[in-house]
Amino acid sequence: MNNIPDISFVVPMYNEEDVIATFFSTMDKTLKKIPQYTYEFICVNDGSKDKTLPILKEYATKDRRIKIISFSRNFYKEQALFAGLEASSGRCVIPMDADLQDPPALILKFIKKWQEGYEVVYGVRTERTKDTLIKRITANLFYKIFNFIADRPIPANTGDYRLMDRKVVDAILQIKENKLFMKGIFSWVGFKSCGVEYQRPKRAAGKTKFNYWKLWNFALDGITASTTLPLRIWTYIGSFIAAISGLYALYIIGRTLFMGVSVPGYASLLVCILFFGSVQLIVLGIFGEYIGRIFMEVKRRPRYIIDEKINLIEHDKI
């Protein structure tokens, strides 16, 4: 008997006690519209400090299709998402958030595109009015900067919410990086893809776990994980500054030979020192970001530590 489900839903959760009941209720209504598809939920408890895990256990006791991976502490969403992909066994996998900002109704459109032959179907946010103005501006800026410098661009205004065929998931699981940027990885593996537009609703309950500092660090991780252009560009900038400096040196030598020695200006000297000192600090900071990634990778620590697994049987992948 084939026990492989058609769809695996991967749902990272961190302090989501307020929304779990609404999430499963909404998903149940949606999945009743496609009774021909079997499914499983891979719920990854990312070190929640509230009642997320006990509530999940109650649901898992009643329904063995709800499977739980509980981390020993908070390892962050990217690691939780990867753990869910590793544990999934479905013919396709749909990662989504529990807060219902990834509307379950879109699953029906995802499946239709999958049936048409697309191997990756991702959601595209057509508007983000439920987000703050600052978040919308910074998000748009990030996508523009990332796609300008990255080796492999990502579709603008997309998140993790998507359907991926099993062979896409298997390709992703071959990646051995410890510092993960899943949006970049989803794009990097390729395959036949298309987008489905939707309007992003507000959270069903609770508050976002991403503050602006975490988003800033997430953006830095994404850029340094996806391209070396920030390192390479300083070769060109340094060459340009060296050429300008050489021309200016020739000018000073010529002026001294023909017009004599003049008293150098204190202000211009100080400005030059501060300018080049700042440039050097910026370069060192960029080098530091990449060296930090090397440091984290060469330690080869596991991406996460699992404290408990529920309803995951022996042949499951994790």
Q: Write the pLDDT tens digit of every residue in 251-278.
A: 766 766 666 655 566 556 656 776 777 7
Say if residue 135's pLDDT is above 60: yes
Higher-confidence residue of 218 and 291: namely: 291
Q: Regarding beta strands 39-45 and 66-71, do their DSSP bridges make them parallel or antiparallel, or are they unpaired?
A: parallel
Domain(s) of CATH 3.90.550.10: residues in the chain = 7-210+302-310
Res 1: pLDDT: 40
Highest mean pLDDT pick, 127-141, 158-172, 234-248: 158-172
Res 156: pLDDT: 74
136-191 confidence digits (pLDDT tens): 677 677 767 766 666 777 777 777 888 999 989 999 898 888 778 888 788 888 88
- Give the CA radius of gyration of the chain: 25
Say if residue 281's pLDDT is above 70: yes
* Secondary structure of residue 196 in the 3-state scheme: strand
Res 315: pLDDT: 46
pTM above 0.85, yes or no: no
Residue 43, token pair as written in the block = 């719920």
43-90 confidence digits (pLDDT tens): 999 888 888 999 999 898 888 899 999 998 888 888 899 999 989 988
Please state, rounded to an integer, the average pLDDT across all residues of the chain: 79
Res 204: pLDDT: 53
Res 74: pLDDT: 85
Residue 87's alpha-carbon distances to 124, 154, 257, in angstroms, are 26, 25, 76
Identify the CATH homologous superfamily for domain 7-210+302-310: Spore Coat Polysaccharide Biosynthesis Protein SpsA; Chain A (3.90.550.10)
Share above pLDDT 70 across residues of the chain, in percent, rounded to a whole number: 72
* Secondary structure of residue 157 in the 3-state scheme: coil
> What single-letter amino acid sits at 66?
I
Say if residue 195's pLDDT is above 90: no
Would you say how long the chain is, in residues? 318
